[in-house]
Amino acid sequence: MKGGRNRADESLSACGHAQADVSPYKDQEKTVENLQKILSCIRPVDKDYLKRAKLRLNSLTKPLESLGKLEIVAQRYAAIKEDLNPSIDRKMIFTFAGDHGVVEEGVSAYPGEVTIQMVLNMLAGGAAINVLAKHVGAEVTVVDIGVNHDFEPAEGFVINKTGYGTKNFAIGPAMTYEEALKSIKTGIDLVDECAGKGVDIIGTGEMGIGNTTPSSAILCVFTGLPAREVTGRGTGIDNATLQKKADVIEKAINLNRPDTEDPVDVLAKVGGFEIGGIAGLIIGCAFHRIPVVVDGFISTAGALIAVALNPTINEYLFYSHLSSEAGHKQMLDKLGQGPILDLDMRLGEGTGAAIAMSIIEASVKIMTEMATFESAGVDTAL
């Protein structure tokens, strides 16, 4: 970051952590305590930087606020980075992959094996996320956090399994509490590895057949909305399957009784490994003051978990687009946030995050590359 100390170092120092030990996980027994330490170190975005960034934008050769949301995005990015002359030179997208036991209930149009096939497609560069990430100059890392398959190592591929798919939450919890914590830790650790390597912005993504079902369940738990109102067609299911999917979600919530006061319990009871990984990635980014671009419906479920753990985290998030998946608007309403784009997308993978990164970068360039009235010799408004 330009113009000062690394803010993560300051946070670590203030919280009493050794700078070399960014993620202080030592053993499973201390995982909850250490997660709380990280969460407690996340501080609000400096409002003074928001004001200073707005003054900078108001001095540019344009009518006041004439670039609308682009100016708001630029202000937020500058405030997160605490830099009035920021740049976006290195972009990364993490696509978390995991399987879901609830697929056994017939809630998806595709079999679980498609998760494996799509991971291989991503590694071969043939998926939509590969194309769009290349277009915007972002690096893609695929993370096997819970696919029911043993992959061979590959470039741009992290294998860090929480398990071989979650359990069927229609008959019991999706995972143990310890597994939920482990999935969150995986996301945090990935950011720890990026923090000192000049990564300016990180996007979330996911792949997992059946994962709109746990995402809808998480939304129901945090909002109290009925499953029939927020459950969508996912991969393109018919009306009968849609009804079954909503029924399965209601059954799972009634059976498992997730505790809304404990977001980790919600993740464990009705979530998914990739959702936990995304929540951890978001937490790690907020800790290190790296702006996060949240993809669509499933990624926003991860954001719900992270923000429930510490509401301040919401200040570090850019929500890339409004998914056409039912329930996404309710998620964003719950978070009090609006999307950058509305393109009727519902693919996932990080595709919306990739496109939104280009908008965020354009916003930053407006702030840093446009002439001011004074430098251009242009008269200001009367």
Residues 76 and 145 in one domain: no
Residues 205 and 241 in one domain: yes
Residues 107 and 18 in one domain: no
Please count the structural domains in the chain: 2
Pairwise pLDDT comparison (56 vs 378), residue with the higher score: 56
User: 278-323: per-residue pLDDT in tens?
Assistant: 999 999 999 999 999 999 999 999 999 999 999 999 999 999 999 9
Q: Helices then strands (H, E): number in the chain? A: 16, 6
**Reported pTM:** 0.93
Residues 114 and 79 in one domain: no
Taking residues 322-336, report their average pLDDT.
Answer: 97
Phi, psi of 143 (to 5 degrees): -120, 115
Tokens of 158: 């992290």
Taking residues 81-96, report their average pLDDT.
Answer: 97
Position 1 in a domain: no
- In a 13 Å sphere around the CA of 195, the CA atoms on its Cβ side amount to 27
Residues 71 and 177 in one domain: no
Q: What pLDDT, on a 0 to 100 scale, did the predictor assign at position 382?
A: 59
Task: Extract the runs of DSSP E, i.e. beta strands, from 5-107.
Answer: 91-98
For β-strands 157-159 and 138-146, DSSP reports them as: parallel
Asked if residues 310 and 301 have their Cβ atoms less than 8 Å apart, the reply is: no
**Alpha-carbon span 74 to 362, nearest angstrom:** 9
- Kindly list the distances between the CA atom of residue 68 and the CA atoms of 63, 75, 205, 333, in Å, as whole numbers in the listed order: 11, 11, 27, 20
Residue 51, domain CATH = 1.10.1610.10
- Active-site residue 250, yes or no? no
Position 328 in a domain: yes
User: 192-201: per-residue pLDDT in tens?
Assistant: 999 989 999 9
Task: Name the catalytic one among 82, 206, 274, 349.
Answer: 349
Residues 37 and 159 in one domain: no
Position 144 in a domain: yes
**Alpha-carbon span 201 to 91, nearest angstrom:** 5
User: 23-63: per-residue pLDDT in tens?
Assistant: 444 455 578 899 999 999 999 999 999 999 999 999 999 99
Per-residue confidence band for 15, with pLDDT thresholds at 50, 70 and 90: low
Residues 181 and 251 in one domain: yes
Residues 197 and 73 in one domain: no
User: 341-369: per-residue pLDDT in tens?
Assistant: 999 999 999 999 999 999 999 999 999 99
Among candidate residues 328, 191, 355, 177, the one with its CA nearest the CA of residue 259: 177
DSSP calls for 276-338: HHHHHHHHHHHHHT--EEE-SHHHHHHHHHHHHH-GGGGGGEEE-B--SSTTHHHHHHHHT--
Residues 105 and 18 in one domain: no
For residue 372, the 8-state DSSP code is: B
Per-residue confidence band for 235, with pLDDT thresholds at 50, 70 and 90: confident
Amino acid identity for residue 92 in this structure: M
